[in-house]
Amino acid sequence: MIGLEFLVVLGCLILGTRYGGMGLGLISGIGLFILTFGFHLQPGQPPVDVMLTILAVIACASVLQTAGGLNVMMKVAERILRRHPSYITILAPITTWTLTFLCGTGHVVYTMFPIIYDIAVKKGIRPERPMAVASVASQMGIGASPVSVSVVSMASILAQSHGVGSAIGLLDLLSVSIPSTLLGVIVAALWSMRRGKDLDKDEEFQAKIKDPEQKEYIYGTSDTLLDKVFPKESYWATWIFFAAIGVVVLFGAFPNLLPSFGPVGKLKPLSMNLVIQMLMLIAGAIILIVCKVNQREIANGPVFKAGMVAIVSVFGVAWMSETFFHAHFDLLKSTLAGIVASKPWMYAIVLFLVSKLVNSQGAAVTAIAPLGLSLGVDPKMMVAFFSASYGYFVLPTYPSDLACIGFDRSGTTRIGKFIINHSFIAPGLIGVGVGCITGYFLVKILL
């Protein structure tokens, strides 16, 4: 029976990926129904705390986008890239990683793709080199952002790790994930500098530009934000958002600043989950009031839409997974506990594969991290291998990768005829591999 139940879960995940994040969450509901009514498994608990935190973060980020704050960040990023076009392969991924780190979502990368392409092709640099690694970097930055879905989820889950060594706080997580993901991005960028043929030696590219129409299409006109003027309210919104992130990090660093609640003698500090929710709502409210945001436009922005999709995805996947794992926890624990506890890299592999199945770092973390804790995986090792939650680059089906291919009019960023041999596989494996190795050593030193 457990085999059939697992096939139901796996089948829903595979089918859901064909319909995107929203479909993944909804189709997981079908799996949940089958497990409950067909196999009579008691439904697990949906990750309500995590979902509410994601909702608060997305609400704030959506108001920020409507106020023009994201465009301000993009303009600054473009200015840096155009000042140093020869180093675009190094600077582009660092820029997209930084934007994701600041905003908590990799979807901010779409505006940067045409800019990166324009700088590279005009400089005679093979666009695949900076563009593919920039797409990978935008997703690796999710694991470093204090307001991203995966970091918020992981911090919430690790807060429950009392009794399994010392509890890991938000700052502990970030002290490892920020340098490890950034180093992974830098190493992947250095490797990318020599990938593929130079444009002047690429026979396929040279054949294309012999056609005047193709040449005009490939080189086209410049895409830029530098000539756009934004109102002062857009800059105010950006600084308000940064201030909120700063306060989140401050409370994470100094938990003694948090109020404590509970019976006398058993006081516990306020959950960082609730702190993040409050601060994101406050920041969004201040931006809304001070920066004269058109509230009717907030729900129409890409960040809000992507965030709602993420919530539905996390809701369905985590609820279905929790139902399956909880029902067979004793069996899984007796079978896997010794292996996973003694070989924590097995946890990393499972997290990586599930991330590919669900196409979401947040959904993978909420599905696998609680199981890891239950099986006795050291929370420190879970932090060390946090980069493994990004595995959906393995097949080029993620929206940012597909968009990257579309924006590269030269055709150098592509999917190979064997599917798996695409432009993102090598920088992705390098970035995640270096991130996990770096995380392992940082945990030994810092935690």
pLDDT of 340-394, one tens digit each? 767 888 889 988 988 876 777 887 888 788 888 888 888 999 999 999 999 989 8
- Strands (E) in 82-190, as ranges, are none
Contact 111, 103 (CB under 8 A): no
Mean pLDDT of all residues in 34-62: 85
Query: Would you state the pLDDT for residue 333?
Result: 64
> Is pLDDT above 80 for 407?
yes
Closest by alpha carbon to 160, among 273, 7, 34, 245?
273
d(CA 45, CA 32): 12
DSSP letters spanning 31-49: HHHIIIIIS-PPP----HH
Closest by alpha carbon to 49, among 411, 398, 366?
366
> Is pLDDT above 90 for 1?
no
Mean pLDDT of all residues in 63-76: 88
d(CA 333, CA 443): 25
Count of all residues that appear for the chain in the document: 447
Amino acid symbol at 271: S
Rg (CA), the chain: 22
d(CA 407, CA 401): 10
Least confident span in 63-77, 176-190, 325-339: 325-339
80-95 per-position pLDDT tens digit? 998 999 999 999 999 9
Question: Of the segments 50-54, 123-127, 185-189, 398-402, which one has the largest average pLDDT value?
Answer: 185-189
- Could you say which DSSP state residue 263 is in? S
> Is pLDDT above 60 for 52?
yes
Query: Would you state the pLDDT for residue 431?
Result: 97
Query: Phi and psi dihedrals of 133, rounded to 5?
Result: -70, -30
Q: What's the mean per-residue pLDDT of the chain?
A: 86
Strand-pair partners of 165:
163
Contact 415, 371 (CB under 8 A): no
Counting residues of the chain whose pLDDT is more than 90, the rounded percentage is 37
pLDDT band per the 50, 70, 90 thresholds, residue 336: low
Give the global pTM: 0.76
Where in the chain are the domains? Answer: 46-314+345-446
Closest by alpha carbon to 102, among 303, 386, 391?
303
pLDDT band per the 50, 70, 90 thresholds, residue 188: very high
Closest by alpha carbon to 355, among 400, 307, 392, 311?
392
**What kind and span of H or E run contains 261?**
strand 260-261
> Is pLDDT above 50 for 163?
no
Query: Would you state the pLDDT for residue 128?
Result: 95
Mean pLDDT of all residues in 25-54: 87
> Is pLDDT above 80 for 50?
no
Retrieve residue 97's tokens.
Answer: 């990683």
